[in-house]
Amino acid sequence: MGFMNLFRRSGPKIKVQSSKKDGFSGWLKCSGCSEIIHANELTENFNTCPKCNYHYRLTIAQRIKNLVDDNTFQELFTHIKPCDPLNFEDLEKYTDRLEEACRKTGRDEAVCVGVCQIQGNPTALALMDFSFMGGSMGSVVGERLTRLIEHAIQKSLPVVILSASGGARMQESIHSLMQMAKTSSALGKLSKAGLPFISVITNPTTGGVTASFASLGDVILAEPGALFGFTGPRVIERTFGKKLPQGAQLSEFLQEKGMVDIVVPRKQLKEKIAFFLEFFRQEKPPEKKSLLQTITAESEPYAKFKKFLALAVGSGR
């Protein structure tokens, strides 16, 4: 009788799960080295791969958390909002694209500007968001940046801009292109006021942003592996019919060529920015000297340059 019961069971003892309850388990393949890593590892490592140092993109909130002293960031000029001056429409209306970008990012434009402290140094800070329409520079982006720079001049603050952009915003045509001249002009006034501008290049920074304020820093820092150039490498190769050198337009290559001053890993970025803020703050305005003194190896400009170069490559900090 016991033997016959083996064939009379109403159902299997082993439970079979027909559907997967868990969605994202936390494991992912690194875009840089293809190794399997856990999301927690990325979070703990400033959103960079602990195995190959591949730098993933950050949101503006993450940038502020990583760079700014706690509870010191005050956003400015949020009342300046984007509009559609040309009633532009391609596959979609420009206004619809703006609404979709706002919904996805929770922000109203591709830049966030404000004042803060970075390791105790008062700073005017701007952060660009590539997830908002590719970080494109429209009239509002240019206006917010310009007003931040003017505010910095009034308050005698240094300016730090973290760039991430695909270039000018085509939906605004000439209105967008004029932002290149406007932001560059404002930075010229900042320089005349004797205030420093630190440009930080993140991946990617291209187009009109590269051709204007991103390339005008007194010091240009870049995250590892960041694409930095006016036009992407594929367009250049197709135009000239030649293959670019390995790693061309990436931050490490551009550091060798002199377009970038220092490549800084993200976990060291706050410390390095603070270092330069303190360096520029301690420098005194140069005294008027004769032409002979200026070109002499023992003159102040030459000595200052040697000191700056030694510090810039990372000695000490």
- pLDDT tens per residue across span 129-152: 999 999 999 999 999 999 999 999
Q: Which residue has the higher pLDDT, 259 or 9?
A: 259
Q: Looking at domain 58-282, what is its CATH homologous superfamily?
A: 2-enoyl-CoA Hydratase; Chain A, domain 1 (3.90.226.10)
Decide: 52 and 265 in contact? Cβ < 8 Å. no
Q: For 25-38, how does the pLDDT look when each residue is reduced to its tens digit (9 = 90+)?
A: 789 889 888 889 98
Q: How many whole angstroms separate alpha carbon 21 and alpha carbon 28?
A: 18
- Does this model's pTM top 0.85? no
Q: Which pLDDT score is estimated for 13?
A: 53
Residues of the chain with CATH 3.90.226.10: 58-282
A 10 A CB-CB count for 132 gives 24
Within 8 A by CB and 6+ apart from 7, the residues are none
Q: Which pLDDT score is estimated for 226?
A: 96
Q: For 82-111, how does the pLDDT look when each residue is reduced to its tens digit (9 = 90+)?
A: 999 999 999 999 999 999 999 999 999 999
Q: Which pLDDT score is estimated for 292?
A: 45
Q: For 258-309, how does the pLDDT look when each residue is reduced to its tens digit (9 = 90+)?
A: 999 999 999 999 999 999 999 998 765 555 554 444 444 445 555 555 566 5
- Sign, Cα dihedral of 71, 160, 136, 44: negative
Q: For 209-243, how does the pLDDT look when each residue is reduced to its tens digit (9 = 90+)?
A: 999 999 999 999 999 999 999 988 888 999 989 99
